[in-house]
Amino acid sequence: MTLSKIRAVSLSVLAVAALLAGPASAAEGRWSLAIHGGAGVIKRGDLTPEKEAAYRTGLHAAMAAGAKVLKAGGSSLDAVEATVRVLEDNPLFNAGKGAVFTAEGKNELDASIMDGKTLKAGAVAGVTRTKNPISLARAVMEQSPHVLLARDGADQFSKEKGLEQVDPSYFRTEERWKQLETWRKNHQAALDPTHLFGTVGAVALDQAGHVAAATSTGGMTGKRWGRIGDSPIIGAGTYARDGVCAVSATGSGEYFIRESAARQVCDRIAWKGQGVQQAGDDTIKSIGAIGGDGGLIAMDGQGRAAFSMNDLGMYRGAVSSAHPVAKTAIFADEPSPR
């Protein structure tokens, strides 16, 4: 057997071993949830005490929704959807109700979800009338033969499947509109440094040992030409595989796409034997090396959570059966919850 074939077989054995390690034992009853609400240049003092408290309250509300599902023995897929829906309904976060505006003054929403048990996934891009895009992404996964639907087609699919529709004006908030107006005067000024990369996401492990990941975003203020970032791209902004990891990313999407960031984390665990924190950190380093910024959350097959970023902050939180009191963090120098 040639050396190249030996190497190929060795890599295959490593991958199979990771998969055969499979989900954690259901008898253990373990569950875990981690979330993010976007990354940016978030220095202490940039946020008023009231706004900081509001962000932490929003993170806690989202985790409460997901933890409720997991405590009751629900699936990780249900948990991440429930978690992200709460964040989409909160105008503080750039997803759903709090989505930023395109250069044309519209709200175009992206989302994706992936089931680590089946490797099924669903995603939508540029939707304009679905109240909760993450639920539409799940409908694409479960009620269509496709993975990604975009723009008018995604809107039509949503209507046909009976998901809650809203007038596009529902997504308008004055704060986001003011950011667009400022952007139109100066294309950098409106990019709020405390929420530069506003995406929300969740990763979870359920009591049956299955993982799932979900991500949702309004994109970037002033985006043009139907721009789509990494959030609805499976393998870039979202990925999940039982026994290996679940990942949701936030940042300069073009760079996360180029580095296949979410899948890269899982590959580092499965193929290189890295721990989840090291895999996340090294992936963010690879993104930084080509000029990208942002962060990601990851969870391995045993429910261990990791938070990695190369910005000065990321809205984040975690809760689990081992640590049932939910914890949040915002600033880069603030210890991430476990």
Instruction: Provide the residue count of the chain.
Output: 338
227: left (phi over 0), alpha (psi -120 to 50) or beta: beta
- Phi, psi dihedral angles at 212 (to 5 degrees): -155, 160
CB 302 within 8 A of CB 207: no
Give the whole-angstrom CA distance, residue 249 versus residue 33.
15
173 tagged catalytic = no
Q: Is the pLDDT of residue 262 over 90?
A: yes
**What are 270-298's pLDDT values in tens digits?**
999 999 999 999 999 999 999 999 999 99
% pLDDT > 70, the chain: 88
- Residue from 272, 290, 302, 279 nearest 211 by CA: 302
From the list 83, 130, 199, 283, the catalytic residue is 199
- Our CA angle for 189, 51, 81, nearest 5°, is 95
Average pLDDT, the chain: 89
pLDDT for residue 327 is more than 50? yes
Average pLDDT for 256-262: 97
What pLDDT is stored for residue 2 in this prediction? 45
- pLDDT single digits (tens) 19-54: 444 454 443 689 999 999 988 767 777 788 999 999
> How many angstroms separate the CA atoms of 122 and 142, rounded?
8
**Interval 231-240: pLDDT, tens:** 999 999 999 9
For the chain, what is the largest distance between any 2 Cα atoms, rounded to a whole number of angstroms?
66
The rounded distance, in Å, linking the Cα atoms of 336 and 39 is 13
SS3 285: helix
- The secondary structure of residue 188, as a DSSP letter, is T
Lowest mean pLDDT among 71-75, 146-150, 180-184: 180-184
